[in-house]
Chain A
């Protein structure tokens, strides 16, 4: 264990909450660890890095990216929360940090080894929030390492929006600790400038009979690489993971999910959809679901759909299901990538629909079921407007 890991939060023995079992991904090059030194610098051929253009990570993967927040760079985090919610900025030694699980790759470990302060948002037990908690993460240029913990107590209900804007080179870990019987919805919006680099691990620890719903919306950034993960701490847990990405000209947007079913009678449902357009647009979707021997009664399904709007875009979609017990309710996955091409455009126009409207119709229809999952009208409208603006900007 390296010296810079915070005491009290990093050793397995110190973790109290049901003792989260680290997911063991068979295909990663190093076991999960809080310490960046435990991971070799990736060279790009490793399973977990083979789709990622390492040179565009701006040194987040090899230790050359250094936080210059002291110069006024990095990210500014602002939290607005309804009454009853505690918002704290804490140091590295806070006992709540690192509870959801260890970083699983070098960039996440770099973030864990490098952040100086963390935000902790806590909702006490038996509290139902009527307004969302809004966390603004605004990049003002330069490198930043972030850490956030969202903790909601037993039988509470909360909606949290994390809204990323501006320009930054950000590596971060976000932990969701969902208490027994609680319901947490998190909407993470990556509405970055097209210069930003954002790599983050989102780890949810879902309590007994708790519901965790995540909606990831990735529109901006030069490179965005997110790693949403779900681990259950008791039976009856439910995870709904939704994602929407609009990848255009030159953007690399990568979503790598893992749902670790190691607890009986839990459910998971994954739906990610992406639209791509423009030259060198590259979207990557990895959906790993593990159903371990102990996880009897598991019910899981994952789906990835991609809509390629123009030539020159690339999608890599890799669903992966590993099942160690037959005593389950259901397990399935599907992945499909389709094109919107001139024949489709002709068909819609031959029914009187103008070309620009035809494209809007297709993209809006494609994303509709996911946008509806957000459930926050002003945010939904902003995101639809943003998608349509991107659509028009790159067609112009």
Chain B
């Protein structure tokens, strides 16, 4: 069973007046089949956690460990992490001029699976996955994220999640900027992947709204660069009612 273990993770970014510590000792274990919601106020370091796990060069790991099934994730390059089974659905997916969605998906699947998918079954696989996410087939010929609406970008992220079948899926504010219909479609996509029982999900969100569609097994409150409280789904109800007030007062929220 795949397990992502984060232990005492410290992460800094370069700021104008020297390095600034954002993550201050994160401990978290995510197992295959589990869904963990990470909730917290703006600036608490949630997205930093997501990007640090994916290996974004902007973030410097200053302490702690991250392992996937015992393998040192922090030693891996960005592409190695993805091939090892870590997937990050980004809050702000990047436009890639010149690369069509279909070309991108196939190249990515080839890299992650270690061999090129057979063309005939691949075309069918993509078509069906797109239909489930209510994406127009013409979408495949557009350039990656170029001119996509907010909802299209998120559907495209979840399309990749469905096709790449990672061991650990990190969803960074996938719900932000979505209307109710898009949120439902995207959530259903995430749930299909979860129902396979083969993915551990780290659902990062500011709002409790998405938790109506995606039921977490665990909820963690993130504040000031670390997990400050953990509980079951009921913790989200408390946050819904009371907000983050209790966790940020006196703390540096940056």
At the interface with chain B, which of A6-14, A223-231, A281-289, A349-357? Answer: A349-357
Q: List 27 A-B contacts (CB under 8 A).
A: A305-B97, A338-B95, A340-B96, A343-B94, A344-B96, A347-B90, A347-B96, A348-B104, A348-B108, A349-B77, A349-B79, A349-B82, A350-B54, A350-B55, A350-B78, A350-B82, A350-B87, A351-B104, A351-B160, A351-B164, A352-B83, A353-B107, A355-B79, A361-B103, A361-B107, A363-B98, A365-B143
* Contact status B79-A354, CB under 8 Å: yes
Contact check, A307 vs B77: say whether CB atoms are below 8 A apart: no
From residue B162, how far is it (CB to closest CB) to chain A in Å? 13
* Cβ of A362 under 8 Å from chain B: yes
Chain A positions 322 through 352: 1 when the CB is less than 8 Å from some CB of chain B, otherwise 0? 0000000000000000101011101111111
Docked-complex contact B103 and A365, CB < 8 angstroms: yes
With known contacts A346-B57, A350-B54, A352-B112, A361–B99 Cβ distance under 8 A: yes
Pick from B82, B96, B99: contact of A352, CB below 8 A. Answer: B82
Within 8 A of A (CB), among B74-103: 77-79, 81-83, 87-88, 90, 93-100, 103
| B95/A344 in contact, CB under 8 A | yes
Q: Which residues of chain B in 141-157 are interfacial with respect to chain A, using CB atoms and an 8 Å cutoff?
A: 143-144
Task: Place the interface of chain B in its size category.
Answer: 20 to 34
The CA-CA distance from A347 to B78 in the complex, in Å, is 9
Interface size on A, residues (CB 8 A): 24
Kindly state the separation between the CA atoms of A81 and B208 in the bound complex, as whole angstroms: 72
In the bound assembly, the distance between CA atoms of A346 and B94 in angstroms comes to 9
Residues of chain A lying within 8 A (CB to CB) of residue B108: 348, 351-353
Say whether A362 contacts B78, CB under 8 Å: no
**B56 interface residue per 8 A CB criterion:** yes
A366 at the interface (CB under 8 A from B): yes
Instruction: Check: B178 CB closer than 8 A to any chain A CB.
Output: no
Interchain nearest-CB distance for A284 vs B (Å): 20
CB-based contact B160/A365 at 8 Å:
no
B96 touches A357 (CB 8 A): no
Residue from the list A346, A363, A365 in contact with B100, Cβ < 8 A = A365
Contact A307 B97 (CB under 8 A): yes
Residues of chain B within 8 A (CB-CB) of A348 are 96, 99, 104, 108
Given contact pairs A307-B98, A340-B96, A350-B82, enumerate 13 new A-B contacts (beta carbons under 8 Å). A338-B97, A340-B98, A346-B56, A347-B144, A348-B96, A348-B104, A351-B108, A351-B112, A352-B82, A353-B79, A353-B107, A357-B107, A361-B103
- Assembly CA distance A151 to B103 (angstroms): 41
Evaluate contact between B111 and A352: CB separation under 8 angstroms: yes
- Identify which of B54, B103, B107, B143 gathers the most chain A CB atoms within 10 Å of its CB: B107
Q: Using A346-B56, A361-B103, A361-B104 as known contacts, say yes or no to A351 and B98 having CB atoms under 8 A apart.
A: no
Q: Which residues of B contact A355 (CB under 8 A)?
A: 79
Contact B97 A352, beta carbon cutoff 8 Å: no
Q: How far is the CA of A295 from the CA of B54 in the complex (A)?
A: 58
In the complex formed, the residue of A with least CB distance to B103 is A365
Determine the chain A residues whose CB is within 8 A of the CB of B95 once the complex forms. Answer: 338, 344
**How near does chain A come to B140, taking the closest CB pair, in angstroms?**
13
Partner pick for B79 among A305, A352, A366, A367, CB 8 A cutoff = A352
In the assembly, what is the distance between CA of A365 and CA of B98, in Å?
A: 5
> With the chains together, A347 CA to B99 CA distance in Å?
12
Q: Could you tell me the distance between the alpha carbons of A346 and B79 in the complex, rounded to whole angstroms?
A: 8
User: How far is the CB of B54 from the nearest CB of chain A, in Å?
Assistant: 5
Contact A362 B96 (CB under 8 A): yes
Interfacial chain A residues near B107, Cβ < 8 Å = 353, 357, 361
What separation, in Å, do the CA atoms of A261 and B88 have in the docked complex? 52
For the complex formed, measure the closest distance between the CB of B4 and the CB atoms of chain A, giving whole angstroms. Answer: 16
Are A347 and B94 closer than 8 Å at their CB atoms?
Answer: yes
Q: A351-B112, A354-B111 are in contact. Are A346 and B103 (CB under 8 A)?
A: no
- Identity of the chain A residue whose Cβ is nearest the Cβ of B78 in the assembled complex: A349
Residues of the A chain whose Cβ atoms lie less than 8 Å from the Cβ of B56: 346
Q: How far is the CA of A338 from the CA of B111 in the complex (A)?
A: 26
Q: Complex formed: what's the CA distance from A338 to B160 in Å?
A: 24
- Alpha-carbon separation in the docked complex, A363 to B108 (Å): 16
